[in-house]
Amino acid sequence: MSQNPLETAFPPTDTSLLGAAHVKAYVESDGEVGYIWNGVTILLLTTTGRSSGEPRTIPIIFTEYHGSYVIIASSGGAPMHPKWYLNILAEPHVKLQVKAETFDAVARTADSPEREAIWREAVKNWPKYDLYQSRTTRQIPVVVIDRKP
């Protein structure tokens, strides 16, 4: 069986700042630490746990697109959607932190043809999204987030 050529096309990702440590550093520094990660911009997404009702915060790559924040539910190409995305499906009202600014927002899943246009922009920002899509049969959701008026 031949190896997926996309698997070797990218340099390794620096994983020295991940998960809870990334969130902590970002919050404590108002984004001075953690806003730029592996050359891309990161925001903090807080969703409401669909079972627990508790807030759940993650750092995630974002792309700005026509005044909206776009995040990709790739989970590295895992076969299942990430938990944060399932939380958004259950409760689309979220909180974002972008650098020092924190605000309420509303998330939605982009449908075709908007999804494909946004995907192309997101891949320009983080080319590994194409690799992640190649690892799974599910269509990776594109999530558009807008500030709550």
Percent of the chain with pLDDT over 70: 89
Give the C-alpha separation, 55 to 135, whole Å: 30
pLDDT at 145: 98
CATH of domain 18-147: 2.30.110.10
Q: Can you give the residue ranges of every domain in the chain?
A: 18-147
7 pLDDT exceeds 70? Answer: no
Q: 123: which 2 tokens?
A: 């891949």
Q: Are residues 127 and 63 in contact, defined by beta-carbon separation less than 8 angstroms? A: no
Question: Span 114-137, mean pLDDT?
Answer: 96
In this predicted structure, the answer to whether residue 2 has a pLDDT above a threshold of 70 is no
Kindly provide the b/e burial profile for residues 32-50, where b requires at least 16 CB atoms within 10 angstroms of the residue's own CB: eebbebeeebbbbbbbbee
Q: pLDDT tens digit string along 73-122?
A: 999 999 999 999 999 999 999 999 999 999 999 999 999 999 999 999 99
**Confidence category of residue 10, pLDDT binned at 50, 70, 90:** low
| Whole-number pLDDT of residue 72 | 98
At 48, the pLDDT band (50, 70, 90 cuts) reads very high
| pTM (2 d.p.) | 0.90
Q: What is the mean pLDDT of the chain?
A: 92
At a CB cut-off of 8 Å and minimum separation 6, what does 96 contact? 43, 44, 45, 46, 69, 102, 103, 105, 145
Question: Scanning the structure block, which residue is given the tokens 């911009």?
Answer: 41
